[in-house]
A = this chain, B = another copy of it.
Amino acid sequence: MGKFCKDPKVVTADDFFFSGLQVSGNTANRLGSNVTLVNVDKLPGLNTLGISLARVDFAPYGLNPPHTHPRGSEIIMVAEGTLYVGFVTSNTDNRFFTKVLIRETSLCSQLVSFTSSLMWERPMQSPLQVFSSQNPGVITIANAVFGSNPPINSDVLTKAFQVDKNVVNYLQKQF
């Protein structure tokens, strides 16, 4: 899981620097959102530091869909606009927590997720996510469940979601 440490003698300040976060992500897609992740693959100086971050851009009514991070916790901050965020706790409660985050001045309100909870956001504009991992990973529920390659057997999904098989077939066709 780790990466080799660069020889300290050939390290430069640029190994600890990343400038791509000022670029807006392209939100002209079906979800109206775009994640620019800065993990250890893009910023070598993060190696062994246990931390990384991401910029998320949103079109109006865009969505960063329900997902979990299998290897990290997350903090969310709004940099512009208003952010509607939520997460659901694990079994057997499945409690649903939400909050509206408003950028007030130059910095922001925030909401902190449970470790690897199911979470999603529907903000107006760019929030910032910070992770307790140099490579947090992400499982987007809808894509993993209905858009895997090859597809999951529709009988499995029919039973899991308690629906008619036509509904599952219809859902699988969207991905």
Contacts and interface: CB of A to CB of B under 8 A. Distances in A.
A107 interface: yes
Nearest to A33: B159
A66 B150 contact: no
Nearest to A175: B162
A45 B90 contact: no
Given A120-B160, A139-B117, A163-B174, A99 B16 contact: yes
A74 B49 CA distance: 8
Given A22-B108, A49-B115, A50-B50, 10 more contacts: A1-B2, A16-B113, A49-B75, A80-B106, A90-B138, A90-B139, A91-B140, A94-B148, A122-B155, A162-B171
Interface of A: 1-2, 5, 8, 12-13, 16-19, 21-24, 30-32, 38, 43, 45-46, 48-51, 53, 55, 61, 63, 65-66, 68, 70-71, 73-75, 77, 79-80, 86, 88-91, 93-99, 103-118, 120, 122, 125-126, 128, 130-132, 137-152, 155-157, 159-163, 167, 170-171, 174-175
